[in-house]
Each structure stands twice: as C-alpha cells, then as structure tokens.
Amino acid sequence: MYVTSDHDRIRLFTRRALLVGGLKAGLIALFAGRLYHLQVEEAAKYQTLAEENRISGRLIPPPRGQILDRFGVPLAINQQNFRAILDPAEADDIDILLNRIGAFLPILESDRKRILRDLEQKNTRSQILIQDNLTWDQVAAMEMRRGDFGGLSIEPGEVRSYPYAEATAHILGYVGAPGEKEFKRDPLFAVPGYRIGKSGIELQLDDRLRGQAGRRQLEVDAHGHVVRELARDEPAAGTDIALTIDIGLQQFAQRRLGAERSAAAVVIDAHGGALYALASHPSFDSNLFTFGISEADWNRLNTDSNAPLTNKAVSGLYAPGSTFKTITALAALEAGVTDESDTVYCPGHFDLGDHRFHCWKRGGHGTVGIVAALAQSCDTYFYDLSLRVGIDKIQAMARRMGLGARTEIDLPHERSGLVPGRSWKLATYKQEWQQGETLINGIGQGYMLATPLQLAVMAARLANGGLGVGPYIVRDAPQEKASSLGIAARHIEIVSRAMNAVVNSQRGTAYSARIADPAMAMAGKTGTSQVRRISKSERETGVIANEKRAWEDRDHALFVGFAPVAAPRYAVAVVVEHGGGGSHVAAPIARDILVECQKRNPARA
C-alpha cells in the first residue's frame, strides 16, 4: 500500500495495533480460561494425582495364627527372621547390585531368574524379595556396608515353624509362597516373603489363620524414594486354631508305625468324635516347604514308592478285609436272617455253583455261630450269611456305619471310599451284580474300599452302642449331638461281645495281642485283605506265605477296635500296607496305641 500522508500512516498503524492487541487479548483469554479449568474446575482431580504421587501405601502382613494341640501345646508357630528386600525405584543397575549382594548372600542362578521375573511382572514401586531367613551374621555384614546396596533394605519378618514336623506334617500341612495365579486373589499375596497355606490345616483354614493386613503410608519423592512414614495401621493377627489332637499320643502313634514300611492309624473318641491321633507313615519334614523345597528334596519325596506326601489316614483306600464282617453280621441280624442260635458248618470252603470259595483256615472251623465266627474270622460262615442277607442290605448297613462317603473332616484330599452295589456296578461296568460278588464283598474283599478314618468311625459307632458319631479335628468346630442309627441295641451288643472274644478268648484271632490289664482291655476285629488273586494251582500246592512274597504282593494287615471293654471310650483303626496278617501285625500296634491312649486319657480335656 502506498502512503501519501501522515494521516494515512496513522490509520495504518492504528489498524495494525488493534490487530496485534486483539491477538494478545485472545491469547490472554485462552490462557486464563485454561488456568481456570485446571485450577478451579479440575482442581480436585489434580490435587488427588499430586497426593498419590507424594504418598505411597504399603501393606503390613499380619502375624499368622498359631495351631495348638488340645492341651495348648504349639504345633505351628511363628519365629522372627530377617529378609533382604529390594525397592526397584531406588536401585540403579540390578545386575551390578545382585553381584554385590552375592558377596554376602548365596544368590543362585535360580534366585536371579526369579528376581528378574518378579521385576518384569511388578511395577517399579513394588518391592521384591531377594532372600529370606538371613542369619544374624549376614544381616550385620550387610548393614555395615549399607551404602553399597542402593535400594536394598533388611526387614524383620516372621517364618512358619513346625516343632513336631514329621509327627504333624500330614495334619498341619505347610505354607509356601503364593503362585502366580494366587497373586490376583489378595493384594497381600504380593508382599515379599508372604506365605499362605498349601496343605493340611494350613490350607483348609487359611482364611482364619491369615488375619487382616495393616497399612503404612509413606511419603516418597518423585523418584519413589521413601522420605518418611506418615501413618500406620497395625495388622490384626490371625486366629489361633486349637485341634483335638493330643500331640503326645500323635507322636507315640507315629513312632509305633515307624517299624513298618507304610501304614496309618487313627484314634477317635467313640462318643464325641474328637480325633486324638491321625498318623500316616512315612511322613516328611514340613519345614522343608517354608522357604521353597529344593529340587533334590522334592524329587526324593515325590518318587518314594511309599508315598510320604500322602495322608494315608484320609486318602489311603484299602479293602477292609475281615474287619467288614462286623457290618455283614449287623446287616444279617437287623434283617432277621440270623441270630445267636443259628450255626453254619465250615469244612474250609463254600461252594456256589461250580465255583469254590475258600476259608482262610484250611480244614475249616467246624460248626460255628455268629459270635464264634467273628471271633475266629470264619470266611465260610460269612459267605453263607452274605448270600442270605444280600448285597442291598449289606450296602445299606455299611453306609449307616460310615463307609462309602467322606466324613467332611477339616482336612483336604479326603476320599470317599467305595461301598459297591447293583446300581454302582451297572453304572460302572454295564453289568449285572453276581451272587459270587456278594460273597467276597461280604468279607470285605472285592470292590469294597475304605479309608482308615472311615474304619475308625465304624469302630466308634460299634463301641458307643450305635450312635452316628462323626469325626472332627478342630476343637471349636460346631458339633451336633450324635443321634441313634436305629440299630437294635441287642444286635450291637452281640457284635461287640464277639469283638471282645476276638481279643480276649483263647480261640480269638487277636488273643496274642490282648491287653493284660483288665481295666484297659480292648475289643476288636482283625482283617487281612488280599492284594492279588490266589490261583487254583497255588491253593493245591500251598499258598505262598506273606513273608516269602515280594513286598507289593503281600496282604494288607488291618485291625479296628475300642477300649476299655467295660466302658468303651476310645476307638482305633490301624492299616499296615502289605503287612501280612492283621492279628500278627496290625493288632499289636493297635494294642500299644490304645494302652498309651488310656494312660494319657485325652478325653479329660
């Protein structure tokens, strides 16, 4: 534009000034609007963000509840330990740091991989466990050179300890670090060094034992470094759990089984159902799992053919053998197909069609009634009785006496056993039930399976006069008063009298294992369950004795019983895998346990 005069120049300047001024005013208005939005409208939001950047919350793990025996003896306790914790936000080069730490702590390659994996999975403000259970010398040495370990701190903690490790391993179980999937269940599980129940009571009652986490509020700088602690809510300790177990009796039972290769024993209150001992052999040291079991120890336990990790008392399944004859006898008495005057002649075998079923005593027992047949464990008598009463009534009585279903005790991995019948076989094998199967199931062989715990419950219901008592192991577990099973008292008395004769009459199968003190005398029933079929040719040439067979081909030895005979209070079941005869192996173990039990008298508390 061509300017011809001062007036024109003034007009041009004025327009430009107004344009620039307008732009400035617009920018100022824009900035002012933005500041108003940030400082007024979004003030609460950004104040919260700033506060979160300044304050870091960290969980405080609660002390785990103790587990006690019935007399208050600690079975699972907490001991103080020290652990090395890494705060990634304060660490520079992780590899260099781990190399420095390695001069004081044994950092294995597996530890290094775990630490690096944890760093990848967690955010930069999550702490990482470097190592647990440090010795005092390790703590002192590292504290003296604290400046060399940026981001590392030594913190006190607690570690689970089991004073009676092998005696209680199958009952208490053990604790361990949460798995990757378990981290999502509870934020507390991500706390370095935190342990949860993995087996036994520790697993079953983990929620009660765990307690409630506390919380720390820490002031941190922009890099996540801790400046100071602002507030603290203390954790609430887990609940102490008292069991019904008598640790003295438990230790005795565990030691008594120790002479065998694989066995289980259960002692139960015949009237209340409290479990005083629940032993499974071989056992293991539950303390091995606290800090993560080594590969060598795990392989040793996991490949042992005697299954030390299995709680045989609740998970072991065994044919009950002749201990089951008490059930067959009750079923027949209740059905009215026999009484004390009824006798059967035993020539040493029983013929059904073209098949011969043999009695254990070659040559037979002669003429026997129900009491003598139980006392001498005559197979022929019970073959005949089983055929007359039928599998349906035998099955029904077995279930009334506690077999064929889980007891729902507060322990994991309990198995239900098996009480077979017509519908079960049809559903399982698509075949009809055969009479010959009734005979062998009537003496506790065939498809019949039970756990030692179920056999102890069966013995308790016989001892208490036919009350449906159920087992429990946690003292404060709600219990209903046991009601009658509806079995005639006279019939229970006949079977109980026969069990007394098993042990205390000279012709009884367990006479050699009797308790000499009349005040402690026990009653019971022996059992020997076959694990292999004996061929016709072997019977003709002579059955090979148990001690001459390979261990895995030997019969299981069983005994169920109760004491004292005059006023039954304690019931027992013992199973010795491949132990041979119940009268020679299982009955003496049961005798010793019942003597110790009556001396200790755990029912007093």
Distance CA 241, CA 597 (A): 23
Local structure of 174: helix, strand or coil: coil
Distance CA 426, CA 507 (A): 41
439-469: burial string, b at 16+ Cβ within 10 Å, e else: bbbbbbbbbbbbbbbbbbbbbbbbbbbbbbb
| Nearest in space to 323 (alpha carbons), one of 513, 577, 514, 509 | 509
Which residues, including other chains, have CB under 8 Å from residue 189's CB and lie 6 or more apart?
A: 178, 182, 183, 196
Which residues, including other chains, have CB under 8 Å from residue 574's CB and lie 6 or more apart?
A: 263, 264, 265, 452, 557, 558, 559, 560, 586, 587, 589, 590, 593
Determine whether 216 is exposed, middle or buried from the number of CB atoms within 10 Å of its CB (0-12, 13-18, 19+): middle
Distance CA 210, CA 186 (A): 11
Q: Which two tokens stand for residue 197?
A: 């129940």
User: Is 322 designated active site?
Assistant: yes
> First and final CA of the chain: distance in angstroms?
114
Distance CA 139, CA 152 (A): 12
Q: Which two tokens stand for residue 547?
A: 């001690």
**Residues written for the chain:** 605
3-state helix, strand, coil in the chain (%, to 5): 45, 20, 35
Q: How far is CA 253 from CA 186, 279, 458, 521, 600, in A?
A: 39, 6, 20, 18, 13
Distance CA 377, CA 326 (A): 10
Distance CA 576, CA 196 (A): 33
Q: Which two tokens stand for residue 245?
A: 């177990």
Residue 441 near residue 385, CB atoms below 8 Å: no
| Nearest in space to 384 (alpha carbons), one of 335, 336, 331, 346 | 346
Q: Does an H or E element contain 129, and which?
A: strand 128-131
Name the active-site residue from 322, 377, 386, 583: 322
Distance CA 294, CA 300 (A): 10
Local structure of 268: helix, strand or coil: strand
Distance CA 105, CA 211 (A): 31
DSSP collapsed to 3 states, 491-526: HHHHHHHHHHHHHHCCCCCCHHHCCCCHHHCCEEEE
Q: Parallel, antiparallel, or unpaired for β 263-269 and 275-281?
A: antiparallel
Determine whether 156 is exposed, middle or buried from the number of CB atoms within 10 Å of its CB (0-12, 13-18, 19+): exposed
- Please enumerate, as own/partner, the contacts of 143-151 that have beta carbons within 8 Å and a separation of 24 or more: 148/100, 149/97, 149/100, 149/101, 150/90, 150/91, 150/92, 150/97, 151/86, 151/87, 151/88, 151/89, 151/90, 151/91, 151/92, 151/97
Q: What are phi and psi of 174, to 5 degrees?
A: -160, 170
Please confirm whether the linkage preceding 602 is cis (ω < 30° from 0). Answer: no
Active-site residue set? 322
